[in-house]
Amino acid sequence: MRPWETLAEADAPDGERLVLRRRGHEYLIVVGGWDLMSSRDDTTARALSTIGIDALRERAGARVLIGGLGMGYTLAAACDALPSDAHIEVAELVPAVVEWNRGPLADLAGRPLEDPRVEVFVGEVAARIKAAKAGEFDAILLDVDNGPEPLAHEENAWLYGRAGLREAHRVLRPGGVFGVWSYSAEGSFDRTLKSAGFEASVHKVANRGRDRGRTHAIWLGRRR
């Protein structure tokens, strides 16, 4: 089997080492020695946008905030799903991930960062939500962890707790959507969403890539 080739390395703000690798047509991002994401696992990343944005297709001037750039698949699906007058902001904590998406990873998802509707915020998506005005967004889509339960990074707990969800509820317009990618549909996140004023649902999506056979989940909260 062909060995992995290291293309680039960078340090995240929390000190974790990120490594971008390639083997043939597959790209892999490794964090702290663990495989974080593969270019083959694009199905559920795209589903976060297609499912989350479905109800916004007819909404003029929709504004969408995406937490986590990854390999650009969620952003690309949002660009495909939204009309020309939409505005899409993607928050990415690690500057190097943005650089990689403009460089060696650019063609994987069709260069979505070059879409004129797209704006990049380099920093924590939690900080962007806290700074947002009331009713600023029509959708907030998060793919920054394994999901609400269990967390890989405890610093993300605020995003999925009642305080974070209430902030998300504040910055969404009526009928807006809060979507979360999750490794599984297990847990009680629906109750947490409801306690923050959302109508809750979960959509199961089969992974067809590197993690084939695993069913992931998209949690949705709709602002009443």
Active-site residue, 143 included: yes
The pLDDT score that the predictor gives to residue 214 is 79
Which pLDDT tens digit goes with each residue over 147-188? 888 777 778 899 999 999 999 999 999 999 999 999 888 888
Q: Are 191 and 71 in contact (CB under 8 A)?
A: no
Token readout for 54 is 């479905």
Q: Which of 143, 145, 190, 211 is catalytic?
A: 143
Among residues 62, 107, 102, 106, which one has the least CA distance to residue 81?
62
The pLDDT score that the predictor gives to residue 15 is 87
For residue 150, what are the contacts with CB-CB under 8 A and spacing of at least 6? none
Token readout for 112 is 């979505």
Which pLDDT tens digit goes with each residue over 89-108? 999 999 999 999 999 999 99
Residue 197 vs residues 62, 75, 170: alpha-carbon distances, Å:
21, 27, 10
Alpha carbons 55 and 138: distance in angstroms, whole number? 10
The pLDDT score that the predictor gives to residue 212 is 62
Say what the alpha-carbon torsion angle 78, 161, 147, 127 is, to the nearest 10 degrees: 50
Residue 109's pLDDT band (boundaries 50, 70, 90)?
very high
Which pLDDT tens digit goes with each residue over 3-54? 999 999 999 888 889 999 999 999 999 998 888 899 998 999 999 999 999 8
Residues 197-220, mean pLDDT to the nearest whole number: 86
What is the sign of the dihedral through the CA atoms of 36, 157, 180 and 94? negative
The pLDDT score that the predictor gives to residue 186 is 84
| Domain range 40-223, CATH architecture | 3-Layer(aba) Sandwich (3.40)
Percent of the chain at pLDDT above 70? 98
Residue 101: enclosing H or E segment and its boundaries?
helix 95-102
Amino acid at 147: G
Q: What are the residue ranges spanned by the domains of the chain?
A: 40-223
Residues 74-96, mean pLDDT to the nearest whole number: 96
The pLDDT score that the predictor gives to residue 210 is 65
Alpha carbons 172 and 134: distance in angstroms, whole number? 7
